[in-house]
Amino acid sequence: MFRRRESVPFSFVADADRFRSNVTPPPSARASVPELLGRSLIGLTVVAGLVGSLLLGLPALDSGQSAASHGKQSEASQGR
């Protein structure tokens, strides 16, 4: 008359060994030489783009302190 109830979240843990499959997945296909060359070319292109943007962007990130420290004076102060 009384049924034994298992808690819902952990009921699958006790039966996990019973439902294991004996089917092995197929082996993954090895990448061919053109695929490897294409992947490496894409990777090199991405890295070259990042390095190029860094090199071109560094002058824009300069704070301008070096230009102010050269001792430039205004034209009005030169006559004094």
| CA atoms of 45 and 38, how far apart (whole Å) | 10
Confidence band for 24, pLDDT divided at 50, 70 and 90: confident
| 48 HSE (CA, 13 A, CB side) | 6
Q: Which residues contact 31 (CB under 8 A, 6 or more apart)?
A: 39
Q: Which residue has the higher pLDDT, 33 or 4?
A: 33
Q: Is 6:14 a contact under the CB 8 Å cutoff?
A: yes
| CA atoms of 6 and 3, how far apart (whole Å) | 10
Confidence band for 54, pLDDT divided at 50, 70 and 90: very high
Decide if pLDDT at 70 tops 80: no
Amino acid in the structure at residue 18: R
